[in-house]
Amino acid sequence: MRSILFFCCISFWCLNATSQQAKSFHADKKLLSAIDKNFKDAAAQYKLLTAKLPEQKFPKTYFPTKDQYEFSSSGWWCSGFYPGTLLYLYQQTKDTALYHAAEKSMHFLQKEQYNATTHDLGFMMYCSFGTANKISSSQENIDILMNSARSLATRYNAQVGCIKSWDRTNWKFPVIIDNMMNLELLFWATRQSGDSSFYKIAVSHANTTMKNHFRPDYSSYHMVNYDPQTGAVIARKTVQGYADASAWARGQAWGLYGYTVMYRETKDTTYLHEAEHIADFILNHPNYPADGIPYWDFNAPDVPHALRDASAAAIMASAWIELYRYTDRQRAKKYLSAAEKVLRTLSTDMYKAKAGENGGFILKHGVGHMPNKSEVDVPLTYGDYYFVEAMVRYKKIDSGLFVRN
């Protein structure tokens, strides 16, 4: 009898402790107020951007000094971020004009479901149609997403164990760290269809990337070139960063986010630890700025005068807000605090555009491809998308929908 009573008491204590742990992190009310204003301002900005958008085109960036836009076709890797951002903003504001603008955009995007020439179908289709399907599930959305997953799966090479990234290069089988972000579509496809082949491809890609992309300090190369016949590593490069051995900021963000998703989808603690190690590399780096907005490359030679990358910061913030749900209490507090710092900084005039400025984009000071001198110190659609996503996730903490596991 005493044993039973003791067991019941211990069980009650554990359940109570778990409940208290889940509820022990509270969203900052002042930041929540800033976020609500950000959503309102962002909705107005994206209406401005929508009005400037040519038919069947998608926004890439805007050059403030020239008052000039750069648009893309639906085949560009960023095409899904614009409708995805509109849909997130619609959820927050209930402004149907945003929803209709997203629908119109996705009408021109849907043909990419059959595009097997790109590894970016997760970005393109899951950030758009995946988000739309969460708002209102439909057979049409499901069919588009399933076809997208099938197209993505055709790029998998079992000998390498990865999905191929670029086709038009001198490299034999390049795989970039960005590709970790496209695996979420494959996990969705397995849940939807019951076909485990998508799941197995995602796990294989993540395991191979974890083995070959990361250095002992858990920083990541941008690209690994494989021999498609043997699976052997030919070279490790950092194409969009400062140097092959440097830590390109957005690349570190992709890895952080990608392995957090891997843990969510598999519950394999190997991926949780990988995400924690990447997060700690970022936060403990001597060149990580106090305001939370990383230099475009942690090893840029002109630090502390190097350009910051708001897009990398936004991706990191969104990843940290999810990662805090899964990790231990000490890390959870650290990661949530890091995300809050980023969101506060991005909400200031330094990074958030004033009404009617920045071509309708939300954030300023993104860095796309510094070595190519492409999209340098300009707004970027993916910066906006992950900033809005991070704010949506932060609000869910306050509502109790994003508590710790």
Given 178, 309, 377, 384, the catalytic residue? 178
Determine phi and psi for 54, rounding to 5 degrees: -65, 155
Residue 7: the pLDDT is: 35
pLDDT per residue of the chain (405 residues) written in tens, 0 to 9: 334 333 333 333 333 333 334 445 788 999 999 999 999 999 999 999 999 999 999 999 999 999 999 999 999 999 999 999 999 999 999 999 999 999 999 999 999 999 999 999 999 999 999 999 999 999 999 999 999 999 999 999 999 999 999 998 899 999 999 999 999 999 999 999 999 999 999 999 999 999 999 999 999 999 999 999 999 999 999 999 999 999 999 999 999 999 999 999 999 999 999 999 999 999 999 999 999 999 999 999 999 999 999 999 999 999 999 999 999 999 999 999 999 999 999 999 999 999 999 999 999 999 999 999 999 999 999 999 999 999 999 999 877 777 776
pTM of the entire structure?
0.94
Q: What is the amino acid identity at position 2?
A: R
Residue 405: the pLDDT is: 66
**297, 175, 160: which is closest to 228 by C-alpha?**
160
Does domain 24-53+268-405 fall under CATH 2.170.120.12? My reply is: no
The two three-digit tokens of residue 97, written as one number: 């004009």
Distance CA 405, CA 18 (A): 9
Residue 307: the pLDDT is: 98
Task: Annotate 262-316 with three-state secondary structure.
Answer: HHHHHCCHHHHHHHHHHHHHHHHCCCCCCCCCCECECCCCCCCCCCECHHHHHHH
Distance CA 150, CA 132 (A): 19
Strand segments, DSSP code E, in 308-373 are 366-369
**288, 280, 265, 134: which is closest to 201 by C-alpha?**
265
Q: Can 120 be counted among the known catalytic residues?
A: yes
* Helices 381-399 and 81-93, axial angle in degrees (round to 10): 30
Residue 1: the pLDDT is: 38
Relative to beta strand 366-369, strand 58-63 is: unpaired
- Domain map (residue ranges) of the chain: 24-53+268-405, 74-154, 155-237
Helix or strand run (H / E) with residue 197? helix 196-212
Residue 21: the pLDDT is: 42
Given 28, 95, 120, 195, the catalytic residue? 120
Give yes or no for a contact between 400 and 346, defined as CB atoms under 8 angstroms apart: no
Nearest 5°: the CA angle 328, 330, 331 is 70
Q: Can 41 be counted among the known catalytic residues?
A: no
**261, 296, 302: which is closest to 383 by C-alpha?**
296
Distance CA 171, CA 372 (A): 18
Q: What is the amino acid identity at position 31?
A: L
First to last CA, the chain: 32
